[in-house]
Amino acid sequence: MRKYLYLALVMTIATPAMAVGIPLIAVNDKAPILTVGYSPATTGQASALSIVLSAINGAKRNVDVAAYSFTSRPIAAALVSAKNRGVSVRVVADEKANNSKYTAVTYLANQGVPVRLDSQYAIMHNKFMVVDGNTVQTGSFNYTASAVSRNAENVLLIQAAPALARNYQTEFNRLWNESTVLNRRY
């Protein structure tokens, strides 16, 4: 079953990427480990939130987060905890969706997490994380309370996929470099 899920994932992700020549799975990479979660959580399935928190809590070196909207207290707390244990944490978020002084990105900036806001697009609608250079979390799941309790969302965690992580890291770095620093507000 995992083999077929892996093949479906590779074809879904790789087909558009191959059109522009981006190798997502290197020849020497082992098959990635895939974990799927939904919100609301389904019986016998990990919740989307628990998968996101597990990825952050398991980070050893770095976590880079690209977020459209960010109001989730548990995710913000996990990122601050990761920073406090020596993990490099960076967040880039959509400027318009995060312009209140009460958003999680403001909290993160006030806790010393480097945060930048992107205003280059109508919306910066990404929702992904790159962890330790070999794990990617992506899906429809916004890092918000509503995504946990009110919306139908999905999360895909792809571990042991360094080529894919490098691709997402390049995109994160591009977004980071075009964005404006969010300074502490209180």
Please spell the DSSP secondary structure of 101-140, one letter per residue. Answer: TTSHHHHHHHTT--EEEE-SSS----EEEEETTTEEEEES
Task: Output the pTM of the full model.
Answer: 0.84
Give a yes or no: residue 69 inside a domain: yes
What pLDDT does 15 receive?
44
Q: Residue 84 to residues 60, 67, 114: CA-CA distances in angstroms?
A: 12, 21, 13
Which pLDDT tens digit goes with each residue over 121-157? 999 999 999 999 999 999 999 999 999 889 999 999 9
**For the chain, what's the residue count?**
186
User: 133 near 62, Cβ under 8 Å?
Assistant: yes
Domain of 94, in residue numbers: 34-181
Say whether pLDDT at 30 is over 90: no
Cα 48 to Cα 157: distance, rounded to the nearest angstrom: 10
CATH number for position 80? 3.30.870.10
User: 69 near 140, Cβ under 8 Å?
Assistant: no
Local structure of residue 61 (DSSP, 8 states): S
Mean pLDDT of 100-113: 89
Give a yes or no: residue 73 inside a domain: yes
Give a yes or no: residue 71 inside a domain: yes
HSE of 183 in the Cβ direction (CA atoms, 13 Å)?
1
Give a yes or no: residue 105 inside a domain: yes
Phi, psi dihedrals of residue 4, rounded to the nearest 5°: -70, -35
Q: Residue 3 to residues 31, 75, 143, 161, 178: CA-CA distances in angstroms?
A: 8, 31, 30, 15, 38
Say whether pLDDT at 23 is over 80: no
Give a yes or no: residue 92 inside a domain: yes
HSE of 153 in the Cβ direction (CA atoms, 13 Å)?
26
Residue linked to tokens 């880079």: 64
Give a yes or no: residue 15 inside a domain: no
Which of 2-11, 47-56, 133-142, 150-159 has the lowest average pLDDT? 2-11
Mean pLDDT of 24-39: 79
The number of distinct structural domains making up the chain is: 1
Q: For residue 42, what pLDDT band results from cuts at 50, 70 and 90?
A: confident
Give a yes or no: residue 2 inside a domain: no
What pLDDT does 85 receive?
98
Q: Helix 48-57 to helix 73-84 angle, to the nearest 10 degrees?
A: 10
**Which two structure tokens, joined as six digits, stand for 90?**
């960076």
Cα 159 to Cα 161: distance, rounded to the nearest angstrom: 5
Mean pLDDT of 106-114: 95
Give a yes or no: residue 57 inside a domain: yes
Phi, psi dihedrals of residue 32, rounded to the nearest 5°: -70, 160
